[in-house]
Structure 1
Amino acid sequence: MMRLGQIEPADPFPDAGSTDELLAWRERVRGRLDALLGERPRRVPPALETTESVDCGSYRRDRVVFDADPTMSVPAFLLVPHERAAPGPAVLAVHGHGAGKSAICALDLDDGLDAGGRYAHDLASLGYVVLAPDLRCFGERADWNPPDHYACDTNLVSAVMFGVNPLAENLWDMTVALDVLAGDSLVDPQRIGVVGFSYGATVTFFLAAVDERIRAAAVSGYFSSWREAHKMPWNMCGSQVMFDMLGRLEHVDVGALVAPRALLVESATEDLLFPAAEARISLAALAQVYDALGAPSDTVEHHVVGGDHHYDGASVPAFFARNLGSLPAGS
C-alpha cells in the first residue's frame, strides 16, 4: 500500500498539452499496452457451430461454439430477435463475475456473487442481435471453482508458468467473438457495440481500446483509475491485471485509445472499488483527448447511479440507439 501511494506515471497524460503532444502520447500508450498484453494466441478459423436453439419469446437463444485458438473453443449464447429480418446493430455482451453468460442472458443460475444485470437479455428483447460468450474460468469454461470463490487467481498462476496473460487471452477470445458477430447475416459490421459490468467492464474497456470495429462501448462499474482501485487490496482478480502495469498505464490512457468512438461510463455513488469521484477526474482528462480528435462533447457520457458496486444500465439502451443507429423495421 505504501508503494502504491508513491507510484507516479512514467509517461503521464499531457494535461493542457497541444494537440500534437496529445496524439503523440496516445501512440506511445498504444505501444505500451501492446507490450504489456504480450504474445497473443494464433488465429484459426472460428468453425462456428450451433448446438441448441431455444425460443425465448421475443428472441431465439442459440448455444454456439467457436474456436479461438488451436487449443481453445468458446461457448456462447447468440440471441436473435424473431422480428430481425435485415442487417442491423448488434452488441457483444461481456459478463462479470458470477455464472457467466447464463446470468446476463436471464437464465437463473446466479451463484450469489454476481451483482450484474441481465443486459444481454434486455438488449435482445429490444431488438439487438447479442452475442454473450463465456470468459475463461466462468460458465461452461469453469473447470474448477470452489464455493463462493472464482478461479481467476489460480488461472493467473497457471498462465504465469506458461508466460501468457489471462486478460490478453480473454481479449483474444472476444476479438474472435467480434469476427463471429460481424459475420452474421443479420448484423451490420459497422454498427457493433459492447457492454460489460465489473470484470466484464474491464474486458469491454480494453477490447474497445484494441479493436476499432467497436463503435460504442458501455463500461459499468470499472472506469476510475488503477491507483485508486488498488487501494482496496482484494479488488482486482488475477484475470484483470497485467504484469508491471502500475505506473505504465492508467484508465485515462486506455480510454484515449477508445477515442474518438462513443464511450458510456456508469458509476455508483457508494462503489468503494471504482469510485465515482475518481471516474469524474479521469473523464475530465479523457475529454481533452476526445476534443483533440474532434469528437462532439457528448461522445463520452457519465451516468452516476445510487448504491454500491452494481449494474444499473438505465442509460445503456439510449446510448446504443444514439451511436449504433436505429433498429431495422419490425425489430
Structure 2
Amino acid sequence: MPPPPLVFSVMDSASGARRRDPSASSRSRMPAAARTVLAALYLAPFAAAAPPPDPRDSLNIDSKTTFTPRHYADLKTWEARKAGLRRQILVSAGLWPLQERGPLAVHRFGRTPKGPYIVEKLALETLPGFYVGANLYIPARLSRPAPAILVAHGHWKHGRTHHAEDYSVPALCANLAAQGFIALAWDMVGYEDTRQLPHNFGDSPEELSWLFAPFSLQLWNAIRALDFVESLPEVNRFQIGMTGTSGGGTQTYLLAAIDERIRAAAPGGMVSATFQGDDVCEMAPGLRIGTNNLELTSLIAPRHLLLVAATGDWTRNTLKVELPAIRSIYALYRQERRASAAMINAGHNSNRESREAVYAFFHRVFMRRYLYSAPPRESDDVPLPSREELLIGDALRDKPQASRSAIFAEWRAMAIARTASMKDELLRERIAALFHVSLPDQVAVPDSSAELVLLRADTGTPVLAQWLNPPSEDTDEFEIGVSPEGLSCERCRQAEPGGGSARARLLIEVYRAGLPPQPFRLERATFHRSNFAERTQDILSAIRYVAGFASRKPIVLSCFGLARAWCLLAAAATPPEINIRLAAGLDEDYTAGLAEYLNRPGIAYSGGLPVLFRLASRHGGGAATAATMGR
C-alpha cells in the first residue's frame, strides 16, 4: 500500500511562489519536528522503490499567487540575474535584442496655452502607418532644459484624457508642467486616438508566433515615447522619469527595468507580491516564468524608485513586504534610501494625495527641492485641459492609416531584420530564452532510487532513464532515445542502423510524454513552461548526464514521432562545444508533420525552423564538462 500524502507547504525554487496542499487546514497540531520524524520512519520502506516526486506536477501559478521575495547574497549574483531578467522581458515582447532605432516620425496637431503651461496634441508613428495619440505638456517659461516625466495611463475608461476624483492624467501632467517639468502622456493600444488595433488583439496562431500582441506593442510604444522625449531640445536627457498607475504602473516598472534612460520611476498600484496584473497587455508567454512583479521592479536598482501604494488594493502590504524586499536589492548597491514608498488611505487610485506624493518624489530627485521643507501641493489654480483640447480626433483619422494586416507586416519585417543581423551565439541564446530551456550545469543521480533517475541540480526535476547498453571502455559513441512512449518504446530499443556494439545507449522518459498539446492560455503561458518545453528540458538533462561520460565523443539523439520536435529544440539549445547530432537527417522527411506542432508563441520571431535547423546542425567536438554526479 502506498504511503499517505504528507501535508506540507513548499517553496518553488525557480519562482518563489508558495504551493500548499489543499488539505493543509486539517493538519494536526503535532509539533513539526515530531511530524517530520514520524513521516521519515513511515516512509523509509518506500524510499528506495519510488522515484522522487516531480515538482512540476504541483506547480500552479497565476496572477493571484502569493510570492515570497528572493534573497540575493551578493551584488555579483544579482547582476547576473538582472541581465537574465531584462532579456526575459524583451524576449517575451519579441524585442530582444534591441536594435538601433531610426528617427521617430511625430505628427503635430496644434498647441493650446493654459496659463503656466502649454499642451500640444501629437501622434507618434511608432511603426509605419501606425499612430499613437499623445499629449505634450510644456512649462510656459523655460530658461534651460527641464526634467521630463513619461506618464503611462491605466485601464480607466478615457485613458490619457481621463479626469475623475480618483484618477486624473490631465491633473497630473498639468501640475507637473506648472511645477517646471515636461510631461508626455500617450495612449494604450485601443484607447482614445489609438484605435487602429483593438486592445485585445494578437490571439491568432500567426500573430502569437511573431509575438504580435498588446504587451509587445505597448512596450515598443513606450520605448519610442522615451526616444521622442529624449530628442526634445527642451528636455534634460539626464533627468527623465516615469510614472503611471495600475496598467500604467506595469508599463512604468517594465520600461524602467529594461531602459537605464529612466533615471527615476514611480509605479503606482501594481508592484505587489499578491497580484501580478491580469489584463492582456500585462501578460506575455514566458514573461513571469520564475519571477514576479516584485523582482522585475527590483531591476530599477540602484536608480530612484517610489512605490505608490494604497490601503484598499493589493499593494496594502507594501511597507511590510514589497518595499523591504526591494530595498534588500538596493542594499547590494548601498543605496537603500533611493527606494521609498507612499501609502495612501484609499482604494485603487491615482487621486490627489497619490499625485502629490509623485510631485514630491520627482522634485527631490531632479530639482533637489523640498529636502527639508514641505513639498508642492496640487494647485486648484492650475487650469486643466478639456478632452477636446487633448484629443486629435478627425485630424488624425484623415491621415493614411495602416490596416491591422499592414501593421502586423511591419512588425514581422522588424523581427526578420533583427534575426538577419544576429550571429549563432545570440540566436541560440534567444531560442533558449524564448522557451525557457537550458543545459543544466549539473545532473545528480540519487542512489536512493531503485531506478535510474537524472535530477537537474537547478530545478530538482527528475527524468527516468534506462541504459540499454551501458558505457564501457570501448564506447566510441553515445545515443539518447526519446519517444512519446517513454521507457515502453520498443522501437527505441532497436539499435539505429550504423550504430555498432561500441555505442552506449540511454533511453529516457520525458515529462508527460504521452499527453497531447495543451490549448494555449495566455495567463498560464505567462507563468509556466509548456509541456513541450519541459520535455526539451528533460532531454537537455540527459545530454548533460551523457556528456559527463562522453567528453569529446559524439552524442546522437534518436527520436521518434513528436519527440523529433523536442529533440530539435534541445539540439538547437545545446552549446556548440558539445558534440551532438540528430539521428535523422535535417530534411523534409524529418520535419514532416512537425511544422504545425512547432507553431508556438514566438517561434517565427525566433527565426522558425530554418534557425532551429541551423543551430541543431552546428555542433563540434569540444570538451564537455564532466558534471554528472552519481552513477
Partner of 2:195: 142
By how many angstroms is 1:156 displaced? 4.5
Amino acid at match of 1:33: I
Any conservation in 1 of the 2:201–2:213 contact (CA below 8 Å)? no
Any conservation in 2 of the 1:79–1:131 contact (CA below 8 Å)? yes
User: Which residue, out of 341, 344, 347, partners 1:305?
Assistant: 344
1:120-199 matches, within 5 Å, as 120-142=173-195, 152=199, 154-157=200-203, 160=208, 163-199=211-247
Q: Distance in 2 between matches of 1:66 and 1:281?
A: 38
Partner of 1:76: 134
By how many angstroms is 1:278 displaced? 5.4
Write out per-residue CA displacement over residues 246-291 of structure 1, whole angstroms, 9 at most, x where no aligned residue.
Answer: 44221222122111000100111011xx232157413222212111
By how many angstroms is 1:20 displaced? 2.5
By how many angstroms is 1:83 displaced? 1.1
1:263 paired to 2:321: no
User: Which residue, out of 289, 292, 298, partners 2:329?
Assistant: 289
By how many angstroms is 1:167 displaced? 1.7
User: Which residue, out of 93, 103, 107, partners 1:37?
Assistant: 93
Where do 5+ consecutive residues of structure 1 fail to align? 145-150
User: Which residue, out of 249, 266, 269, partners 1:218?
Assistant: 266
By how many angstroms is 1:50 displaced? 1.7
Any conservation in 1 of the 2:92–2:211 contact (CA below 8 Å)? no
Q: Distance in 1 between matches of 2:268 and 2:11?
A: 26
User: Which residue, out of 245, 251, 266, partners 1:203?
Assistant: 251
Partner of 1:147: none
Q: 1:16 to 1:245 in 2, by over 3 A?
A: closer
Where 2:330 maps in the other structure, the secondary structure is helix
Of the structure 1 ranges 302-311 and 63-72, higher mean CA displacement relative to structure 2 is found in 63-72
Q: Distance in 1 between matches of 2:111 and 2:325?
A: 46
Write out per-residue CA displacement over residues 60-105 of structure 1, whole angstroms, 9 at most, x where no aligned residue.
Answer: 11112222123422221111111113112111111112212222xx
Q: Distance in 1 between matches of 2:76 and 2:128?
A: 42
Q: 1:49 to 1:247 in 2, by over 3 A?
A: closer
Between Structure 1 and Structure 2, whose CA radius of gyration is higher?
2
Amino acid at match of 2:147: P
Amino acid at match of 2:80: A
Any conservation in 1 of the 2:298–2:326 contact (CA below 8 Å)? yes
1:46 paired to 2:88: no
Amino acid at match of 1:287: R
Partner of 1:62: 120
Count of residue pairs brought into register by the alignment: 300
Any conservation in 2 of the 1:268–1:307 contact (CA below 8 Å)? yes
Amino acid at match of 2:235: V
Q: 1:162 to 1:288 in 2, by over 3 A?
A: same
Any conservation in 2 of the 1:264–1:302 contact (CA below 8 Å)? yes
Q: 1:229 to 1:11 in 2, by over 3 A?
A: closer
Q: Distance in 1 between matches of 2:214 and 2:262?
A: 21
Q: 1:278 to 1:294 in 2, by over 3 A?
A: closer
Any conservation in 2 of the 1:66–1:73 contact (CA below 8 Å)? yes
Where 2:126 maps in the other structure, the secondary structure is strand
1:249 paired to 2:291: yes
By how many angstroms is 1:31 displaced? 2.8
Q: Distance in 1 between matches of 2:280 and 2:332?
A: 35
User: Which residue, out of 127, 133, 148, partners 1:90?
Assistant: 148
Amino acid at match of 1:281: V
Amino acid at match of 2:251: V
Q: Distance in 1 between matches of 2:330 and 2:14?
A: 22
Where do 5+ consecutive residues of structure 2 fail to align? 1-8, 17-68, 370-631
User: Which residue, out of 264, 268, 278, partners 1:236?
Assistant: 278
1:100 paired to 2:159: yes
By how many angstroms is 1:28 displaced? 2.6
Where 1:34 maps in the other structure, the secondary structure is helix
By how many angstroms is 1:16 displaced? 5.2
By how many angstroms is 1:135 displaced? 1.8
Amino acid at match of 1:195: T
Q: Distance in 2 between matches of 1:9 and 1:250?
A: 13
Amino acid at match of 2:185: A
Q: Distance in 2 between matches of 1:279 and 1:326?
A: 25
Where 2:356 maps in the other structure, the secondary structure is coil
- Cα RMSD of the aligned pairs, angstroms, is 2.7
